[in-house]
Amino acid sequence: MNRWLLPEDIADVLPSEARKVEALRRSILDLYQSYGYELVAPPILEFLDSLLTGTGSDLNLQTFKLVDQLSGRTLGLRADMTPQVARIDAHLLNREGVTRLCYAGSIAHARTPVGSAAREELQIGAEIYGCASWEADFEAITLLLSTLNVAGIHKVYLDFSHAGVLEGILDGQNISKEDIELIYGLLQSKDRTRLASWAQCLPPESAQALMTLTELNGSCTEVLAQAQKILPKHSLIDEALSQLDCLATAAAGFSKELELSIDLADLRGYQYHSGVMFAAYVDQLPQPIARGGRYDHVGQAFGRARPATGFSLDLLSLAHLAPQWVRRPAIVAPWINDVTLTRKITELRHTGEVVIQAMPDDAVETAEYLCNRELVKKGDSWEVKQK
């Protein structure tokens, strides 16, 4: 075996792509700062019981596990940063008012996610804590769309759902955690045959409503009108549909290139989210470029109930979709012991120029920089000349 081979679905990021990733990271974090978000950097490893608090079994399956040689306890290599940020808000910051936090860091998946080609991601995202109203969800959606705009992506398909609809349908039913996970999978795959078979244990009205969810997808106006007419009258369902209506109406004015839809069976992350959920799609990818939504129960699992909403995305995927960036111009300088030359190079670098000093017998070949100028000595000074 070649020692330099990487594990399956793990890859290096080469110079030109790495520059795009880093430039996007800086621009996006600057965008978040302009909205008042504060940057946090959780550790990549945590004790497993803390890392998975309030997240359900779906994240557990994606988490690499190892034993801490110091304590003997099981550690987890994070597969998602959102629970960590919720822990920071609940225990370390411990604020009473609205808190806005953002983050960027590596995550790893034990299994390659469906529709993805990588088990390692550079996750970037933003979260709002302490605000239970739909306006916080709308700010998260606005910030997500602005994030995609920073990367040059303007044609976006935004799909809404709401965990409260299923919660209202199943309210009062004694359903195990395992069955909840089964329902989630059947709704996600829209497996009506198996869903109908399982729903026989429910009252007829609840069973029919569960089956109806697989058909309630399409334009926001049509789906909401159908849902209000067909779904049972329940306070959780009514509230969910009202929130979706507010968000869809507000988001419609963001951009003419934004297309909105609702899929009430798209409950990916049901164990994780507690309210509105949204996914952003682009033409170049079969899977969502970003996902987000409300997850009030995660903070509660840490012992401090805090309304929470936000989103995250993979910066590596975003950089791959971003327009190809041009090579950056550079100046070539000789590598000699000359005080005047050193001073000139320092001045140029302070102004933002890239100056590459050529080693002996070095032709300065680089795919990242366009070496179209050089420093030449003219009398007692050094000047920049076109090559």
Please state the residue numbers annotated as binding site. 80-82, 123, 127, 268
355, HSE (Cβ side, Cα atoms, 13 Å): 23
Q: Is 385 left (phi over 0), alpha (psi -120 to 50) or beta?
A: beta
> Residues marked as binding for L-histidine?
80-82, 123, 127, 268
Q: Are 170 and 187 in contact (CB under 8 A)?
A: no
Q: Are 218 and 264 in contact (CB under 8 A)?
A: no
Q: Are 278 and 311 in contact (CB under 8 A)?
A: yes
Q: Are 366 and 354 in contact (CB under 8 A)?
A: no
Q: How far apart are CA 281 and CA 82, in angstroms?
A: 20
Q: Are 329 and 373 in contact (CB under 8 A)?
A: yes
* Strand residues in 130-228 grouped as ranges (E): 156-162, 217-218
Q: Are 277 and 290 in contact (CB under 8 A)?
A: no
Q: How far apart are CA 163 and CA 240, in angstroms?
A: 8
Q: How many CB atoms lie within 10 A of CB 89?
A: 25
Tell how many helices (H) and how many strands (E) occur in the chain: 14, 16
Structure tokens at 92: 């370390």
Q: How far apart are CA 293 and CA 82, in angstroms?
A: 11
Integer-rounded Cα radius of gyration of the chain: 26
By three-state DSSP, how is residue 336 classified?
coil
